[in-house]
């Protein structure tokens, strides 16, 4: 059995310096809050902060600390809201989460929880309240014999791929390699080989939680099953803190291959029709997606946009992958492809590397999506022309095909369709914010009429009232709201963005 520590140690000099700096911040915060008419019992809160600071293994940051702004705005997306917390607790252990929640409840602060900061609309960044940062909780424990992993919430997918592969095992991590596991699992997670392995959250065996009353529980199908159901899909509206996950692992496929087929602008409609034709014939060992966006330089002279069909075969041999790809590769519509790369040997790191450019960090970003059961050519109609007018060449549409036998059972992550279609708008310069925002609204408007719902983890929770509800079946939403009232009756945890 293999272990890795939760966090890095701090030298004595660094620790003493930190204590002095935090004590000074608490004094400054007390003076600042005293000047506010709605500050409440400042003396009591100050004493609570001092007690919290003494109890923590991690770090307490207040606005007066020079590290506060950088820590609060740590985000994959550079299009940041103006919201800022009242204080930040950077947890070094699960007990720090207990201390932070108890402080917040006793002094009437709300709590937002951040794993890795990859949520594009910054759900964890709220105005006021406590930001509980779990980024130092990155433990990994692999039990190869049992084919399980026990992980801290902030480990990133790429690291988990590496650690499990050393034992000939794998887990359906997010396709973007820098996504931390906690938010991904809480949202449901459509990860590697999802058509065969299922959603990421359906591969969770147990979760360690800290509840709104400060109590700690381990939840599973056999213990506190209602909380276990809720944790696997509630996403940023979950009413507890997940501090550790136990995961079911799968044998690592030994014959992974990748294929790409590039279609000119004039044949994007035919490429989408092709996917509709072959969908029912494809193996569950395939991931197939269509991207629409700016062409590569060598194709730019003749095309304002191109369509790319991308396929990953999660098989155990090259010949198995070739057979799995046969319905796709042999379809007559492939004759319209102007270039292709078929059945190229790969591994999971190569798959993550291929997806990474679709949603790179460090940009300004707007993302939205729809689940749809309509024909793909109907869903993407008009998108090629619209993407030709995109203010940024980095923006693109991505439509992911789900196998007809894919299903969700026993989790609050309960809604899916034939296709999950993303509109990803990315740019670099703040001066271009208005033009990209306007273009994004129009692009999303093209796919919205075809939706049966949305994938909660990558939707715009600010766009309209009740958008969070669109991520669930009606029955699951009703049950989730009832459980929130049971387990967080005092509303210690923030609700979804866009909800009171």
Digit-coded pLDDT (tens) for 74-108: 777 888 888 899 999 999 999 999 999 999 999 99
C-alpha to C-alpha distance for 41 and 33, rounded to whole angstroms:
9
Contact 111, 100 (CB under 8 A): yes
Is a pLDDT exceeding 90 seen at residue 2? no
Where do the CATH 3.30.43.10 domains begin and end in the chain?
A: 2-133
C-alpha to C-alpha distance for 33 and 332, rounded to whole angstroms:
70
Which residues, other chains included, contact 69 with Cβ-Cβ below 8 Å and sequence gap of 6+?
84
Instruction: Read off the pTM.
Output: 0.91
Please report the sign of the dihedral spanned by the C-alpha atoms of residue 459, residue 461, residue 467, residue 469.
positive
Q: What is the CATH number of domain 257-471?
A: 3.40.462.20
Contact 371, 448 (CB under 8 A): no
C-alpha to C-alpha distance for 29 and 164, rounded to whole angstroms:
45
- Where does residue 393 rank: exposed (0-12), middle (13-18), buried (19+ CB within 10 A)? middle
Q: What is the CATH number of domain 140-252?
A: 3.30.465.10
Closest by CA position to 417, among listed 429, 427, 407: 407
Would you state the torsion angle of the CA atoms of residues 407, 412, 416, 420, taken in this order, to the nearest 10 degrees? Answer: -120
Top-confidence residue, 413 or 75: 413
Give the architecture-level CATH label for domain 2-133. 2-Layer Sandwich (3.30)
Digit-coded pLDDT (tens) for 31-76: 555 444 344 577 788 888 999 999 999 999 999 888 988 888 777 7
Where do the CATH 3.40.462.20 domains begin and end in the chain?
A: 257-471
When pLDDT is cut at 50, 70 and 90, the band that residue 272 belongs to is very high
Contact 466, 481 (CB under 8 A): no
C-alpha to C-alpha distance for 275 and 215, rounded to whole angstroms:
49
- Where does residue 73 rank: exposed (0-12), middle (13-18), buried (19+ CB within 10 A)? middle
Residue 403 DSSP symbol: -
Decide the pairing of beta strands 306-313 and 419-427. Answer: unpaired
Where do the CATH 3.30.465.10 domains begin and end in the chain?
A: 140-252
Residue 11 DSSP symbol: -
Is a pLDDT exceeding 80 seen at residue 25? no
pLDDT at position 21, please?
57
Question: How is residue 232 written in tokens?
Answer: 């696997």
pLDDT at position 10, please?
44
Please report the sign of the dihedral spanned by the C-alpha atoms of residue 178, residue 368, residue 114, residue 206.
negative
Top-confidence residue, 41 or 430: 430
Is a pLDDT exceeding 60 seen at residue 187? yes
The residue length of the chain stands at 500
Digit-coded pLDDT (tens) for 299-339: 887 888 999 999 999 999 999 999 999 999 999 999 999 99
Radius of gyration of the chain (CA): 23
Phi and psi for 140 in degrees, rounded to 5? -140, 130
HSE-up of 401 (CA within 13 Å, CB side)?
A: 31
């Amino acid at each position: 059995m293999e272990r890795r520590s939760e966090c890095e140690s701090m030298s004595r000099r660094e620790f003493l310096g930190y204590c002095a700096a935090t004590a000074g911040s608490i004094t400054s915060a007390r003076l600042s809050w005293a000047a506010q008419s709605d500050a409440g019992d400042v003396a009591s809160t100050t004493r609570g902060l001092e007690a919290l600071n003494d109890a923590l293994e991690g770090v307490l940051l207040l606005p007066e600390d020079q590290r506060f702004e950088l820590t609060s705005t740590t985000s994959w997306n550079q299009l940041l809201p103006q919201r800022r917390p009242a204080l930040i607790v950077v947890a070094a252990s699960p007990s720090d989460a207990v201390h932070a929640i108890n402080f917040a409840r006793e002094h009437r602060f709300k709590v937002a929880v951040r794993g890795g900061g990859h949520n594009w609309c910054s759900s964890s960044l709220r105005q006021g309240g406590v930001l509980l940062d779990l980024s130092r909780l990155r433990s990994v424990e692999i039990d190869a014999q049992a084919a399980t992993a026990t992980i801290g919430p902030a480990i990133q997918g790429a690291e988990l791929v590496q650690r499990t592969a050393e034992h000939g095992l794998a887990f359906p991590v997010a396709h973007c390699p820098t996504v931390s596991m906690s938010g991904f699992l809480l949202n449901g997670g459509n990860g590697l080989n999802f058509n065969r392995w299922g959603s990421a959250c359906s591969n969770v065996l147990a979760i360690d939680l800290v509840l709104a009353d400060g109590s700690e529980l381990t939840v599973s199908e056999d213990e506190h099953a209602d909380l276990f159901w809720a944790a696997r899909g509630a996403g940023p509206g979950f009413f507890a803190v997940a501090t550790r996950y136990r995961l079911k692992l799968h044998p690592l496929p030994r014959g992974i291959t990748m294929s790409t087929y590039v279609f000119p602008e004039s044949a994007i409609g035919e490429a989408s029709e092709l996917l509709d034709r072959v969908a029912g014939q494809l193996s569950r060992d395939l991931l197939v997606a269509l991207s629409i966006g700016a062409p590569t330089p060598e194709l730019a002279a003749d095309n304002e946009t191109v369509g790319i069909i991308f396929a990953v075969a999660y098989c155990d041999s090259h010949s198995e992958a070739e057979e799995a790809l046969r319905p796709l590769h042999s379809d007559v519509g492939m004759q319209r492809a102007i270039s292709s790369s078929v059945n190229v040997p790969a591994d999971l790191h190569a798959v993550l590397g291929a997806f990474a450019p679709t949603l790179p960090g460090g940009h300004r970003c707007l993302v939205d999506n729809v689940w749809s059961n309509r024909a793909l050519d109907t869903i993407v109609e008009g998108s090629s022309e619209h993407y030709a007018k995109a203010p940024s060449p980095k923006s693109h549409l991505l439509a992911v095909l789900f196998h007809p036998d894919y299903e969700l059972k026993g989790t609050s992550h309960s809604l899916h369709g034939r296709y999950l279609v993303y509109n990803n708008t990315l740019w670099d310069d703040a001066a271009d914010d208005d033009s990209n925002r306007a273009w994004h609204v129009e692009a999303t408007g093209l796919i919205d009429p075809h939706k049966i719902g949305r994938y909660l983890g990558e939707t715009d929770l600010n766009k309209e009232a009740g958008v969070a509800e669109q991520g669930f079946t009606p029955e699951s939403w009703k049950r989730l709201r009832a459980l929130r009232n049971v387990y967080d009756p005092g509303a210690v945890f923030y609700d979804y963005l866009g909800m009171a």
